Amino acid sequence: MDFMFLNLDEFIIYGEILSRFLLMIPGPSIVNYETLLDMAKPTLSHVSAEFDQIHRETLEMLKKVFGTSGSVILIPGSGTAGIELGVRSSLKPGEKAVVLKTGFFGDYLAEAARRIGVKVDVIESPLGKGFGEENVKELLSRGEYDAVLLQHVETSVAVYNPVDKIAKVAKKYGVKVIVDGIASIGGMEMKMDEWGVDVCITGSQKSLATPPGLAIVAYRSGFIPLTDNETLYFNVSKLLSEMESTRNYYITPAVNMVYALYSSLNRIMKEGLEARYKRHEVFAKAVQEGLEALGLKLVAEEPFRANTVTAAYLPNGIEWVKLYGEMHARGVEIAGGLGALRGKIFRIGHMGEVTAHEIIATLATLERSLMKLGYRIEPGSAIKVAQEVLFIHGF
């Protein structure tokens, strides 16, 4: 339906229909209505004292989420823009880096590094597995690399990498650590200063529970970002100056998007980071054990399962297009596979503002959809297991 040709009454009705859809994909994630309303507030001047205060407080809250007292850059853009900025501000042409690839999006890190003249080796883990300390120690002990690039969570396969342990090994060998935290920040713990993560990248649209549109790059305390004079947009020195005060105007901030992020971060602070991470852990366990109760095989293996997204193989005889259609018809949106796994898996996001009720609703809808497609299950088997997990942990 084309929004441009709706009258007011039709727009309200269509909005009500859309609001009944349950968005359970691994980003964009559900956005709280308070955040959406805050986003709709009148636009302030980007160099006003009032907006400068909101922007400054937003950056301070982001530092808490990233676990750094270093600089944070917040710009209009996607997570991919964040990857490019993060890589360009930490690596130099001629340096050599290793990318620890666990899935589809590992190529983004590698390509960003190659484009600035970095020599890149890509080491790919077996499907469903992440990297451990020993893997990284073996790679870095050769003394070949200046940096290691990896994802905290690989969205395409729901694989988690133990960044704390990997960064510890990297620091032992004097190697820079650049982390794609797009699918984890705000839903899984990150302690950049403590762990030794030099650069961490995220976007607004996943566990930070804000609409898409903001790229965020954080730096470890004491890490000095490199100045990139090859691009106009990613001029780090000027961007850092603007982060000190929006009155040091360089690029126009996405004012209303910053309102939304400010609103969501205040909700995150109110919930408490420890409680938020625990909620994500419990919800992940409920989804994963619920899927296994249906006889489905998860893509990620233990101990590499993410707390923000779960991926499972489609049962034999069940086509992704048909499963998506059944779920969508019942008001629940899930995601399919990417790259080589397209048509072979499905993914459920359980990040950000997701509630226990929405976890149960998603699993119940999945049961009915699978049954409609001829998959033989005991109705309620996923629900029973998930309910037990939620109840045991106080939800």
What mean pLDDT do residues 49-65 have?
Answer: 98
CA distance 113 to 253: 26
Read off φ and ψ for residue 150, nearest 5 degrees.
-160, 170
pLDDT-based confidence at residue 21 (cuts at 50, 70, 90): confident
b/e sequence 295-324, b meaning 16+ C-beta within 10 Å: ebebbbeeebbbbbbbbbbbbeebebeebb
- Which residue is it, tokens 């030099």? 198
**Percent of all residues in the chain with a pLDDT value above 70, rounded to a whole number:** 95
Is the pLDDT confidence value at 332 over 80?
Answer: yes
Pairing state between β 199-203 and 72-76: unpaired
Domains, the chain, with CATH or none:
8-27+272-392 (3.90.1150.10), 33-270 (3.40.640.10)
Dig out the tokens for 349 from the structure.
Answer: 């996001």
C-alpha distances (whole Å) from 90 to each of 84, 87, 116 are 10, 5, 11
pLDDT of residue 14 exceeding 80, the answer is no
Average pLDDT, the chain: 95
What predicted TM-score, i.e. pTM, was given to this entire model?
Answer: 0.94
For residues 90 and 17, what is the distance between their CA atoms, to the nearest angstrom? Answer: 45
Q: Judge whether residue 119 has pLDDT over 80.
A: yes
Beta strands in the chain, from DSSP E residues, in sequence order: 22-23, 72-76, 96-101, 119-124, 147-151, 153-154, 159-160, 176-180, 199-203, 214-219, 309-313, 332-333, 335-336, 345-349
Q: Please provide the DSSP assignment of 43-54 as one string.
A: PPPTTSHHHHHH
What pLDDT sits at residue 1? Answer: 42
| Sign of the CA dihedral with 225 first, then 75, 88, and 112 last | positive
Q: Which pLDDT value is given to residue 11?
A: 47
pLDDT digits 0-9 by tens, 267-314: 999 999 999 999 999 999 999 999 999 999 999 999 999 999 999 999
Under DSSP, the state recorded for 185 is B
Average pLDDT over residues 97-106: 96
> Among residues 133, 137, 131, which one has the least CA distance to residue 153?
131
